[in-house]
Structures are given as structure tokens and as C-alpha cells.
Amino acid sequence: METVGEYAHPTWLGEGYKQAGPGRYVSADGTRQVRFTDSDLAKSGNHAGAPHMNFEEVRTIVKPNGKESFVPKGNGNSHIYLPEEQ
């Protein structure tokens, strides 16, 4: 999966989203993110029990060094499980 566009754009992230790291995309206003890291896509041993994507509501914090950090809000994480490959 090379881009998040097919799954999350424009309904979740909207126009102007950016890649914040490998497998992690954040909305232009910094309030939503989608994650599908190698760990999330693993067939076993991940926190959700199966390959999935995380759709989260977040707040953006800028650290003193200027680096952005995205902190989930409450229970704003939804797992979307991916179909198994045939």
C-alpha cells in the first residue's frame, strides 16, 4: 500500500494531508491521523490481532526542538481490519 489516498482521502484526512512518518499520515489541521505501519500490517503479533489501519483523532503538540508529536484524543482510535490476501 503506497498511499493512504484510496482509503482515507478525502473523507477522513481531507485535502492537504501530509506524511508524518513511515505509514503515518496527518490531516492539514493536525486533528486526524491514519496509521498503517509495518507493525499494524503484520499478520500476527500486533496490538489488534490482525492486519489493520488506525484512524485516530489527535491533537498536535510541537516539542521545544520543533518536532511535532500527535497525541490521540480519548477513545478516538478506530481499527479498520484489512481483508486477508488470497
The better pLDDT of the pair 75, 14 is held by: 14
Residue 73 covered by a domain: yes
Helices (H), the chain: 5-8, 38-41
pLDDT at site 64: 93
- Is the residue at 60 inside a domain? yes
Is 53's pLDDT higher than 80?
yes
**Residue 85 CA from chain centroid, whole number:** 21
The answer as to whether 86 is a domain residue is no
Q: Is 34 among the domain residues?
A: yes
Residue 65 lies in a domain: yes
Q: Where are the beta strands (DSSP E) in 1-86?
A: 18-21, 24-26, 32-35, 52-62, 68-81
CB atoms within 10 A of CB 64: 5
Q: Tens digits of per-residue pLDDT, 21-42?
A: 898 888 999 899 888 888 888 8
Average pLDDT over residues 50-55: 87
Question: What is the residue-averaged pLDDT of the chain?
Answer: 81
Domain of residue 16: give its range: 5-81
What is the pTM (predicted TM-score) of this model? 0.73
Residue 11 in domain: yes
Structural domains in the chain (count): 1
**6 pLDDT band (50/70/90 cuts)?**
low
